[in-house]
Every structure is written in C-alpha cells, then in structure tokens.
Amino acid sequence: MHCPDYSLRNSVATLALSVLTACATEVVREPVTFSAQAPSTQPDYVVEAAIAVSSNSGYERRVPAGSRWRLVGTIPQGDVYRRVDDVFSIEGAHMHEAFLVVAQGQLVGFYLPVEKSYSPARSAVPIAVQRRQQ
C-alpha cells in the first residue's frame, strides 16, 4: 500500500535539512577607524606556534606557525597585522580578507580591510610572535 502523505513528509524534511545546512551565519562586524602605519618602518613578525581561533560566525581558522605578519596600523581594539606571505581570510555567509587584531598578547579579533570594520573573535586566544631579523 502506498502512502503519499509519508512521501510528502520526507520531501519536506529533506528540503528543510538542505536549507538549514546551506545557510551560513553572517560575520558580525562593526565599523572602525583605522590608523595606518608607514609600511617601510615596520618589521615582520613570525607566529611561533600555530593557533586556532573561531570567528563570531562559528568557523574556526588556523594561524599557521611560521607565518609572517606586519604591523600595518591600529584600531581602538588593538594593533592590526597583515599577513605578508599569504592572504588570511575568515568565513561566514561570505569569505572576508582579514587582518589579525592583537591586544596585550592576545588575538582578539579581525580587521576586515574591504569592509573597513572590526569583527571580534568568539574568544580571545594568546598569540606568541617573534620579531623577524631583517
């Protein structure tokens, strides 16, 4: 015996599951004033140990050990570092190029240069950097 009601419920459940898994959370961000540093005066810094950090959208990103970063400016939340040897990004409903925001030895969030905004990390994580010899 065929039960069309069961088939309809399966179709609705499958559609609902597809919609739920396809929707990513938007990266929360707030506009900030960025004060740039003169690029030629800043040394590179190297991350000593890999760290995992979660953006406020829930996606985890890894800052790799040995990656090079340069201080490019400041925002009210901390110092802003741009990756020198690659591009770093965070993810939500969209991908965003991101610079690290560090305050008192902790990675506290991300500066999004295209959006000119700050996105806090889900929680601050300690970050150890070493000044690179030129």
44-47: which pairs have CB atoms within 8 A and are 24 or more residues apart?
44/68, 44/69, 44/70, 44/84, 44/131, 44/132, 44/134, 45/69, 45/70, 45/71, 45/81, 45/129, 45/130, 45/131, 45/132, 46/129, 46/130, 46/132, 47/127, 47/128, 47/129
Number of structural domains in the chain = 1
Q: For 16-57, how does the pLDDT look when each residue is reduced to its tens digit (9 = 90+)?
A: 444 444 566 888 889 999 999 886 667 889 999 999 998 888
- Domain containing residue 95: 30-131
DSSP string, 93-114: SSEEE-EEEEETTEEEEEEETT
In a domain, 23, yes or no: no
In a domain, 125, yes or no: yes
In a domain, 112, yes or no: yes
Q: Is the pLDDT of residue 6 over 90?
A: no
Task: Supply the pLDDT for residue 7.
Answer: 52
In a domain, 4, yes or no: no
In a domain, 1, yes or no: no
In a domain, 110, yes or no: yes
Neighbours of 28 (CB within 10 A): 14
In a domain, 15, yes or no: no
In a domain, 19, yes or no: no
Q: Is the pLDDT of residue 3 over 80?
A: no
Contact between 72 and 88 under an 8 Å Cβ cutoff? The reply is: no
